[in-house]
A = this chain, B = another copy of it.
Amino acid sequence: MDSLAIADHLKNHGIKPSYPRIQIYKYLYDRRSHPTVDQIYNDLIKLIPTLSKTTIYNTLGLFINATLVKSFMLDENEKRYEIIIHDHSHFKCEKCNSIYDIPYDDIDLLPQQYNNFQIDEVQIFLRGICEDCLEQ
């Protein structure tokens, strides 16, 4: 997605497309990683020397309100952020620390007696050792 397309996308969600906002979105979109604010800052500061962490926090807050981005925590004490694309769970490998996106199909997570609960969000975290690390 190029900058123009991102600008349109943001406008459509009621967010004025400033340069930092576009770059932060692009960062999340292109990498498809699960960065912390610190990682975003350390990478984007090369591109935007005046960038501040506050701007990143503000921008991510906007994105989250517009349901463009969601945040989650993986037991560490730093939030991680990612573009919302489709339902998937996260697998974190304890050896290499990579975080895998794992698609899941419609799973019935609630037993019968919870049928009347309204579910707005599902987050699934798996922890273990990934195939690559197990082979070594």
Q: Do A118 and B129 have beta carbons less than 8 Å apart?
A: yes
Segment of A8-16, A42-50, A107-115 engaged in the interface with chain B? A107-115
Asked if A51 is an interface residue, CB under 8 A from chain B, the answer is no
Name which residue of chain B comes closest to A76, CB basis: B73
Set B75, B111, B116, B129: member contacting A117, Cβ < 8 A: B129
Asked if A89 is an interface residue, CB under 8 A from chain B, the answer is yes
Set B107, B123, B131: member contacting A109, Cβ < 8 A: B107
Main secondary structure of the interface of A (DSSP, over half): strand
Name which residue of chain B comes closest to A115, CB basis: B131
> Given the complex, which residues of B lie within 8 Å of A100, measured CB to CB?
114
Q: Known contacts A75-B71, A125-B123, A126-B121; decide if A134 and B107 are in contact (CB<8 Å).
A: no
How near does chain B come to A65, taking the closest CB pair, in angstroms? 14
Q: Do B123 and A124 have beta carbons less than 8 Å apart?
A: yes
Q: Do A131 and B116 have beta carbons less than 8 Å apart?
A: yes
Q: Do B111 and A103 have beta carbons less than 8 Å apart?
A: yes
Q: Do A131 and B117 have beta carbons less than 8 Å apart?
A: yes
Chain A, range 88-136, C-beta contacts under 8 Å to B: 89, 91, 94, 100, 102-105, 107-111, 114, 116-131, 134
How near does chain B come to A103, taking the closest CB pair, in angstroms? 7
In the complex, A13 Cα to B75 Cα: how many Å?
24
